[in-house]
Amino acid sequence: MSVTTGRNVVVVGTQWGDEGKGKLVDWLTESAQGVVRFQGGHNAGHTLVINGVKTALNLIPSGIMRPGVKCYIGNGVVLSTEQLFKEIERLEAIGVEVRSRLRVSEACPLILPFHAALDIAREAVRESAGSEKIGTTGKGIGPAYEDKIARRALRVQDLKYPERFAAKLRVLLELHNHILTTFLKAPAIDFDAVYAQAMVDAERLRPMMADVSRELNDANRAGANLLFEGAQGTLLDVDHGTYPFVTSSNCVAGNAAAGSGVGPGMLHYVLGITKAYCTRVGGGPFPTELDWQTPGTVGYHLSTVGAEKGVVTGRSRRCGWFDAALLKRSAQVNGLSGLCITKLDVLDGIEKLELCTGYELDGETTDILPLGADEIERCKPIYETLEGWKESTVGITQYDKLPINARLYLQRIEQVTGVPIHMVSTSPDRDHTIMMRHPYLAD
């Protein structure tokens, strides 16, 4: 008897996050039966615009907006039950059925109130000491991953056993309260309040708890197409990003396997999402950054026309020119099969476009982003100038309808990065997408 397995696609951000992954995941879910989050926590923010209506998601996979599609939160995600239920209730209020379609790995580490308290207190100490803040969201993501790596985390499966949960919580809280009160001069967290809320959440979460690894493998063998949804971006990866100005998880495509419990051979295509320019939230080096706060400048145009505000924090995103040398690094560590260029329409009306092809670093030139923040901070971008276009690209869905200079710009990105462009997004709306090669059909 022959068995037909499904085709699986991984979607990752190739810059510092905020590239528009949510829209593309939602769009590609039309061809998928399951969508998987495999890392990060509710520090991620995906905004979807469907029929002109905005929906913001932080934790639940973007595929939830497609009726009938199963959604999975894999073991690589650190889970705040408080945030999860807030998001579920928000979706249910607009008529989206969630609970019957969402599966949560029992191996997910839990984010508890003391994790956020540690996160916030540490940033405050850095600031008061005159050190540069990392720029975390203050949601406890880093401290939760620390507990995971130190092998002391409470996990979703622990919620099923109240006595076991209480015993582990007492030990963990004793450690973290010591750090909070002694070193960070912050208030202690109350055991009874944390435990009581956890037990309430346990009952609500129990129907959604699952062996996600097994379910994904079973679905794939049954012929289901799966979509693996990354959060943040490659340059925020804890190993491959602008360390230490990074997030606390691996954002690269390879972590889709480890973070969900599937084999690497099940990852058939990797789609890299990149803006037609660059943005970054928070601290850290940014070689092509422009003045984005002064009216009349190109940076201000990118910031305002692109509506560059963080979904989670509301912070303004720093803006700059497209960086092909940065993208080369992302292509290398992700093994990109193809690119999707988003927000091409934001460049409409800019007379001259600068494209970074490499850097000067300590008297030498390089065509790829170095490793680590210290070296990147010393990089001076090398630009080539391309002609812009005056015509509007908003809502265009056919490649040959784009202005000639827009097409030349995209072709130059392909040439410099060595990665083919398979999709182009021309507005936030779900349907305003140009498809040159479909990830679920590509060889």
Q: How confident is the model at residue 40 (pLDDT cuts 50, 70, 90)?
A: very high
Encoding tokens for residue 132? 């540069």
Q: What confidence tens digit (pLDDT) does each residue in 182-228 have?
A: 999 999 999 999 999 999 999 999 999 999 999 999 999 999 999 99
Please state, in angstroms and as integers, the Cα–Cα distance from residue 365 to each residue in 41, 149, 361, 368, 403, following that order. Answer: 37, 38, 6, 9, 33
Give yes or no for residue 5 having a pLDDT over 90.
Answer: no
Task: Give residue 56's pLDDT.
Answer: 80
Check pLDDT > 50 for residue 2.
no
With H, G, I as helix, E, B as strand and everything else as coil, classify residue 412: helix
Whether 176 is catalytic = no
User: 340, 331, 325: which is closest to 410 by C-alpha?
Assistant: 340
- 18 labelled catalytic: yes
Model confidence band, residue 3 (pLDDT cutoffs 50, 70, 90): very low
Provide the 8-state DSSP code for 95. T
Q: Which of 133-147, 263-277, 372-386 has the lowest mean pLDDT?
A: 133-147
pLDDT at 354: 98
**Separation CA 420–CA 400 (nearest Å):** 16
What's the pTM value of the predicted model, to 2 decimals? Answer: 0.92
Q: What is the DSSP letter of 146?
A: H
Distance CA 109, CA 174 (A): 18
Half-sphere exposure of 203 (CA within 13 A, CB side): 5
Q: Which of 26, 42, 46, 201 is catalytic?
A: 46
- For 91, the 3-state DSSP assignment is helix
- 7 confidence band (pLDDT: 50, 70, 90): very high
**So what's the pLDDT on residue 134?**
67
Q: Looking at the predicted structure, is the pLDDT value of residue 406 above 50?
A: yes
Rounded percentage of the chain residues whose pLDDT exceeds 70: 94
Model pLDDT for residues 45-94, shown as the tens digit of each residue: 666 666 566 778 889 998 898 899 999 999 999 999 999 999 999 999 98
Supply 47's token pair: 């905004």
Count how many residues are written for the chain. Answer: 443
Mean pLDDT of the chain: 92
pLDDT score for 312: 60
pLDDT attached to residue 133: 66
Query: What's the one-letter identity of residue 132?
Result: E
Question: Beta strands 46-50 and 53-57: pairing type?
Answer: antiparallel
Q: Residue 298's closest CA among 343, 342, 352?
A: 352
Query: Looking at the predicted structure, is the pLDDT value of residue 19 above 80?
Result: yes
Residues 147-158 have a mean pLDDT of 97
Question: Which residue in 275, 276, 273 sits closest to 409, CA to CA?
Answer: 276
CA distance 20 to 269: 18
Q: What is the 3-state secondary structure (H, E, C) of 156-184?
A: HHHHHCHHHHHHHHHHHHHHHHHHHHHHC
Lowest mean pLDDT among 21-35, 78-92, 122-136, 259-273: 122-136
Q: What is residue 26's predicted lDDT score, i.e. its pLDDT?
A: 82
Q: Which residue type does 421 have?
A: I
Band the pLDDT of 44: cuts 50, 70, 90. confident
Residue 350, exposed/middle/buried by CB under 10 A (0-12, 13-18, 19+)?
A: middle
Q: Is 422 helix (H, G, I), strand (E, B) or coil?
A: strand
Q: Which pLDDT belongs to residue 104? A: 98
Q: CA nearest 237: which of 355, 120, 329, 110?
A: 329
* pLDDT the model gives residue 344: 97
Evaluate if residue 1 carries a pLDDT over 60. no
Give, in degrees to the nearest 5, the angle at Cα 166 between 160 and 171: 130
pLDDT tens digits, 333-369 = 999 999 999 999 999 999 999 999 999 999 999 999 9
Instruction: State the pLDDT confidence band at 313, using cuts at 50, 70 and 90.
Output: low
- Mean pLDDT for 385-410 is 97
| Share above pLDDT 90 across residues of the chain, in percent, rounded to a whole number | 80
Q: Name the band, by pLDDT with cuts 50, 70 and 90, for residue 256.
A: very high
Does the pLDDT of residue 257 top 70, yes or no?
Answer: yes
Which residue from 391, 387, 395, 430 is spatially nearest to 411, judged by alpha carbons?
Answer: 387
